[in-house]
């Protein structure tokens, strides 16, 4: 039972405890004859009533203050109670003062925490703060973009499955000295990183004991590899046309010095080889540039029908030269594609150019593009933006034997080397296609049947969420 915010049982116990000493005192006085029994009883009753009222007010103030503090802890805010006693008023004022100071301190801590998180998110490289158990306390935006999803609370071994990093963490904790580890992430494309592990001398208030910073070394490593590849590839592929040019020059200086007919024929061949070397160097440089940026996903919004129309227009003269026809079947509801317009033009241009070169004379090259919707998240028009975008380039050539298909995107891999060089191929076109597709996180599928032609299909991932982000 509660009597005006004060539990009756608790109040009676308090009054009984407070009234017992005066009762004993009055009994002693009455027994000694110093006070009449009736007066002693009346005095004790009056004193008890005063004590009961005081206890009721004081106990009520204490209980209301307690409830106020509990609501503050639970809800973060509460209305201060009205006190009836001086002690209750002083206690209420103390609680309100403590509430203000706590609020100000919390606001400062929140501001500091927000500032720290903003500073962490502004760092271009991934940074992870770990506790003693190697669980992630906090991760910046770059870490979440690299490793995916919310990382806080997850064990580092589940986030980065690399035994070298786990071993370096243990070593850093044991010695108290920083460690450097090189490691590689294979998906979605290969990326090389250097990890710096730095243990803190004293643990932070949030439990942070170790700072793990990742530095992307992909561009540096690829630049070194590309320089070596460029020298090796260029020296191998350019050796033959250079030897041919040297032979013709020597012939023109000697036996054919005064032979106008031979000179004209040789100069035409020399021009052809020089042009092929120029294309080869341009393709090598282009491939190196694409590989350098392969680990970074493009963020532009590209109008795919416009890109395909540009490709068809650019290659119309080549199709006309072989009496070929370029047909386009582009879906009208294609959403914008996230990508690099220049690289996409180069990708589709390489595929269409190959289809024209290796297709039969007078045949048709078909460019198809459509949106493979999943039927989810449909808008008011009933069109879904969830699903992949597919583009296929089909020719009517001689087709490709099955054993050659897996190797078509290798550098300088040719099924018929003589025919490829005769048609002006450098052996790098499909390698460029593969790396541009990889940068756009697109899957390349090749279907071919000897005698019936080939179809190259690219599947670009596309979701409504990606559209909203970009």
Chain segment 34-65, per-residue pLDDT in tens = 778 777 778 778 887 887 777 777 777 777 77
Give residue-wise pLDDT tens across range 425-467. Answer: 677 888 889 999 988 889 999 998 888 889 999 999 875 444 4
Query: What is the chain's alpha carbon radius of gyration, rounded to the nearest angstrom?
Result: 41
3-state class percentages of the chain: helix first, strand second, coil last, to nearest 5: 55, 20, 25
Options 3.40.50.300, 3.40.640.10, 3.30.565.10, 3.30.70.100; CATH of 297-470: 3.30.565.10
Predicted confidence (pLDDT) per residue in 84-124, tens digit? 667 767 777 777 777 777 776 766 666 666 666 777 777 77
pLDDT tens, 339-392?
999 999 999 999 999 899 888 888 999 999 998 876 554 544 444 456 789 999
Residue 178's pLDDT is what?
Answer: 84
pLDDT band of residue 125 (cuts 50, 70, 90) is confident
- Which helix (H) or strand (E) covers residue 355, if one does? helix 341-358
Q: How far is the C-alpha of 363 from the C-alpha of 360, rounded, in Å?
A: 5
Cis peptide before 69 (omega within 30 of 0): no
Rounded to 5 degrees, φ, ψ at 161 are -85, 75
Lowest mean pLDDT among 67-81, 156-170, 275-289: 67-81
Q: Which CATH architecture has domain 218-295?
A: Orthogonal Bundle (1.10)
Residue 183 scores a pLDDT above 80 = yes
What is the pLDDT confidence band of residue 470, given thresholds at 50, 70 and 90?
Answer: very low
- CATH of span 124-216: 3.30.450.20
More confident residue, 224 or 152: 152
Residue range 278-305: mean pLDDT, rounded? 82
Q: Where are the domains of the chain?
A: 2-109, 124-216, 218-295, 297-470
What percentage of the chain has pLDDT greater than the value 70? 80
Is residue 83 scored above 70 in pLDDT?
no
Of residues 348 and 217, more confidently modeled: 348
The answer, yes or no, to whether residue 3 has pLDDT greater than 60, is no
Cβ 451 vs Cβ 401: under 8 Å = no
Residue 418: pLDDT above 60?
no
Q: What is the pLDDT of residue 381?
A: 44
CA distance 225 to 265: 40
Return the pLDDT at 466.
Answer: 41
- Indicate the average pLDDT of the chain: 78
Q: Give this prediction's pTM.
A: 0.50
3-state secondary structure of 129: strand
Whether 19 shows a pLDDT value over 90: the answer reads: no
């Amino acid at each position: 039972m509660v009597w005006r915010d004060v539990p009756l049982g608790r109040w009676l116990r308090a009054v009984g405890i407070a009234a017992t000493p005066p009762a004993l005192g009055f009994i002693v006085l009455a027994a000694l004859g110093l006070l009449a029994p009736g007066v002693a009883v009346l005095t004790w009753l009056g004193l008890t009533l005063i004590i009961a009222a005081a206890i009721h007010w004081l106990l009520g103030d204490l209980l209301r203050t307690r409830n106020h503090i509990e609501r503050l802890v639970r809800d973060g805010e509460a209305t201060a109670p009205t006190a009836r006693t001086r002690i209750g008023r002083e206690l209420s004022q103390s609680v309100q003062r403590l509430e203000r100071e706590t609020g100000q301190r919390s606001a400062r801590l929140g501001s500091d925490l927000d500032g720290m998180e903003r500073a962490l998110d502004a760092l271009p490289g991934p940074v992870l703060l770990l506790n003693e158990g190697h669980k992630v306390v906090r991760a910046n935006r770059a870490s979440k973009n690299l490793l995916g999803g919310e990382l806080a609370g997850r064990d580092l071994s589940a986030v980065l499955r690399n035994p070298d990093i786990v071993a370096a963490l243990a070593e850093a904790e044991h010695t108290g000295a920083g460690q450097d580890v090189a490691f590689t992430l294979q998906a979605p494309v290969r990326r090389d990183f250097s990890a710096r592990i730095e243990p803190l001398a004293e643990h932070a208030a949030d439990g942070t004991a170790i700072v793990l910073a990742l530095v992307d070394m992909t561009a540096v490593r690829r630049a070194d590899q590309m320089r070596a590849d460029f020298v090796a590839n260029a020296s191998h592929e350019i050796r033959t046309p250079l030897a041919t040019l040297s032979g013709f020059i020597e012939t023109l200086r000697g036996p054919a010095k005064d032979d106008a007919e031979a000179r004209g024929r040789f100069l035409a061949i020399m021009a052809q080889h020089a042009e092929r070397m120029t294309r080869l160097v341009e393709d090598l440089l282009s491939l190196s540039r694409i590989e350098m940026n392969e680990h970074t996903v493009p963020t532009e919004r590209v109008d795919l029908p416009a890109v395909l129309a540009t490709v068809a227009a650019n290659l119309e003269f080549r199709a006309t030269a072989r009496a070929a026809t370029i047909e386009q079947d582009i879906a009208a509801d294609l959403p914008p594609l996230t990508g690099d317009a220049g690289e996409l033009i180069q990708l589709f241009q390489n595929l269409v150019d190959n289809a024209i070169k290796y297709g039969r004379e007078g045949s048709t090259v078909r460019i198809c593009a459509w949106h493979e919707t999943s039927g989810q998240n449909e808008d008011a028009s009933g069109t879904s933006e969830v699903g992949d975008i597919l583009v296929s380039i089909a020719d009517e050539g001689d087709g490709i034997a099955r054993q050659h298909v897996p190797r078509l995107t290798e550098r300088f891999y040719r099924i018929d080397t003589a025919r490829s060089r005769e048609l002006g191929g450098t052996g790098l076109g499909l390698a460029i296609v593969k790396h541009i597709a990889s940068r756009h996180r697109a899957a390349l599928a090749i279907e071919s049947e000897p005698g019936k032609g080939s179809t190259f299909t690219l599947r670009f991932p596309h979701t409504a969420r990606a559209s909203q982000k970009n």
